[in-house]
Amino acid sequence: MLLSLALTALAALSEVQGASASSEFTNPLVAPRRNFKRCGQVSKYYGQHLEDWNTYKTGDWLNNWWNNNTDLIEKNSAGFAGAFGQWALGNPDWSCRDDGSSTDCDLNLCDNRVLNDRGRDIRPTYYVLESVNRLHSYFSGLSQAFNTAALSAALAKDSWATTFYTDKDDKSSDSLKKVLSLVTTIVGVGAAFAGMGPAAVGAAAGAGSAIISGSNGAIGIALGNHADDTFQKSADLGGILSKVVVESLESFTTANNQLMDGQSYGDADIRSYISGGAFVDFQGVDKNAVTDSMSNMLIGTSINQLYRTQKIFILGGGACGDNQGIGSGPQESVICRDGKAWYLYYWQENSGPSLNSHQWGWVNPPPGSDKLGQAEYKGVSVEDILNSSLDAWNVAGYDYNADTAASRAHDAISSAWASPGSKGASWEGIFTVPVCDVSGAIGQNWDHGEYILQPYGHESRPVWCGDLCGDADKTKAFIEAAQMNGFQSPWHLCESKPSYA
């Protein structure tokens, strides 16, 4: 649900929750803490925390209230919010709708006679009021973040395809649908639970499921407008993504209004969204964090789609620093993880007929990689490509897809083992560049085995004469994933044709 959307932002995360006071938090509809000496009985429950929701069985209380007041909900023009506002505050106009009003979800609690006369119901009533109010502010904050000029400007780059795609084959780079299928998850992870750390989300598992499902539904509406879009190398991929993201804010409005009315959105009503105390003490949406996280993840996803159509891959698995008899990789595009080195490669084919060794092409940095880490691409780096791709490969090999991404993001947030949004473009699956662990080649007596790893350069042509990735099946799968089927260059010096050829 929308909340899932809230999961990439949420995913903007523990860091977001601990953001400095200078961070741009937008929570215009959440009433400030009141330290009045006289506010009636309700003031005893100020300073609530997420865990208080379950401690005092607020969810059960709300279900009972809902079941016993269906007539009140049905008769009120504002549905659930209006009925609850009338019952709890004496205010039948407490609609919490997103209709341009800045006061329709205000909490005027101090000395409110209706609320303070509720006896044992005061505490759960107060927790529900705060949760509904803050859920409303959550949707409002997301809409503002998604509508920011910074996000639109970051995405609207019509040079992406020509910058990151220079393959000699002048084919179109595949359907935009593959990019858009991941956008659903990206937006969901980036926006979901914006401003809340993974621990908070984990404590509100029910809300997490509702949010994920709801956010996917929201972005899906926007994506539907672009379902038939495709792009050539020169097409405005960034412009399309920018429109998709901005259009999604309309879905936030729809979600807010349907939930406040008591309807279901994404197969769950408002009780699921605020379950577990997910919003009882929500401090607001960090618009800067949402914008940065979303931009970096969407830009990374788009670059990855262009890279996956070319001969771009990762080799490694040997010792950091190499010197193990299988060559040395490019030191300008390497990371060292757990004592192993991993290198990013682009096998650039010769652009025309040649009678010399250059007919086989050579290895270079991937197209556009020199632009990363600066200007409009400052939030995406070569290290992000390597780390994200390795994590995806460790999880699902060469089959990390949109479904895998959604499942992993959901589990990471609800189980509190990672905050996807805080990782930005380095989060697993943003990049899925094919990986081959060549450590099994160490000590093997392969033809020209000392050239398995090569630095970049016009004279650099790796030679792969064995089962490069450990065995024949793994190597064949890698060759296919790296768009190198039928490509003779890696084995042009081998005495016999390798199994993958």
What's the confidence (pLDDT) of residue 250?
65
Residues 229 and 344 in one domain: no
Residues 46 and 70 in one domain: yes
What are the backbone angles phi and psi of residue 156, rounded to the nearest 5°?
-80, 70
User: Which residue bears the tokens 């209706």?
Assistant: 114
pLDDT tens-digit profile of 26-55?
Answer: 343 444 444 445 789 999 999 999 899 999
Residue 492: pLDDT above 70?
yes
Q: What average pLDDT does the segment 326-330 reach?
A: 95
Residues 329 and 223 in one domain: no
On whether residue 221 sits in a domain, the answer given is yes
What's the confidence (pLDDT) of residue 468?
94
What's the confidence (pLDDT) of residue 209?
54
On whether residue 382 sits in a domain, the answer given is no
Could you give the residue ranges of the DSSP H alpha helices within 159-286? 160-164, 177-191, 198-203, 205-224, 237-261, 270-273
What's the confidence (pLDDT) of residue 388?
97
Q: List the one residue out of 250, 249, 251, 269 whose CA is nearest residue 260.
A: 269
On whether residue 496 sits in a domain, the answer given is no
Distances (CA, A) of 54 to 104, 125, 127, 240, 338: 28, 14, 11, 43, 41
Does residue 342 sit in helix, strand or coil?
strand
- In this structure, the strands spanning 312-319 and 25-26 are unpaired
Residues 150 and 236 in one domain: yes
Residues 213 and 329 in one domain: no
What are the backbone angles phi and psi of residue 33, rounded to the nearest 5°?
-60, 140
Residue 340: pLDDT above 90?
yes
Please tell me the least confidently modeled range out of 97-111, 150-164, 230-244, 466-480: 230-244
Which of 25-34, 93-102, 103-112, 339-348 has the highest average model confidence (pLDDT)? 339-348
Summary mean pLDDT of the chain: 78
Q: Is 227 exposed, middle or buried (0-12, 13-18, 19+ CB in 10 A)?
A: exposed
**What one-character DSSP code corresponds to residue 183?**
H
Residue 22: CB partners within 8 Å, gap ≥ 6? none
What's the confidence (pLDDT) of residue 9?
38
What's the confidence (pLDDT) of residue 293?
77
Helix (H) or strand (E) holding 151: helix 149-155
- In this structure, the strands spanning 312-319 and 334-337 are unpaired
Cα distance between residue 129 and residue 109, in whole Å: 10
Residues 340 and 284 in one domain: no
pLDDT tens-digit profile of 53-91?
Answer: 999 999 999 999 999 999 999 999 999 999 999 999 999
Cα distance between residue 84 and residue 269, in whole Å: 15
Residues 105 and 153 in one domain: yes
On whether residue 231 sits in a domain, the answer given is yes
Which structural domain range is residue 145 located in? 1-19+26-31+39-309+398-428
Q: Contact 436/475 with Cβ under 8 angstroms?
A: yes
Residues 420 and 450 in one domain: no
What's the confidence (pLDDT) of residue 448?
93
Q: Contact 409/7 with Cβ under 8 angstroms?
A: yes
Residue 217: CB partners within 8 Å, gap ≥ 6? 1, 2, 251, 255, 265, 266
Q: Which amino acid is at 87?
A: W
> pLDDT category, 2, cuts 50, 70, 90?
very low
The count of C-alpha atoms lying within 13 angstroms of the C-alpha of 381, restricted to the half-sphere facing its C-beta, is 12
Of 428, 443, 468, the position where a domain reaches its end is 428
On whether residue 387 sits in a domain, the answer given is no
Of 428, 450, 469, the position where a domain reaches its end is 428
Distances (CA, A) of 196 to 56, 58, 136, 243, 283: 22, 20, 15, 27, 8
Q: List the one residue out of 240, 236, 268, 265 whose CA is nearest residue 252.
A: 265
Residues 115 and 4 in one domain: yes
On whether residue 379 sits in a domain, the answer given is no
Residues 305 and 315 in one domain: no
On whether residue 237 sits in a domain, the answer given is yes
pLDDT tens-digit profile of 417-432?
Answer: 777 777 889 999 999 9
Residues 178 and 82 in one domain: yes
The number of domains in the chain is: 2
Helical pair 205-224 and 177-191, crossing angle rounded to 10 deg: 140
Q: 187-223 in b/e burial notation, b at 16+ Cβ within 10 A?
A: bbbbbbbbbbbbebbbbbbbbbbbbbbbbbbbbbebb
Residue 199: pLDDT above 50?
no
Residues 252 and 291 in one domain: yes
On whether residue 196 sits in a domain, the answer given is yes
Please give the residue that has the higher pLDDT: either 169 or 293.
Answer: 293
Q: What average pLDDT does the segment 226-249 reach?
A: 55
- In this structure, the strands spanning 25-26 and 285-286 are antiparallel
What's the confidence (pLDDT) of residue 361?
85
pTM (two decimals): 0.75
Strand partners for 3: 211
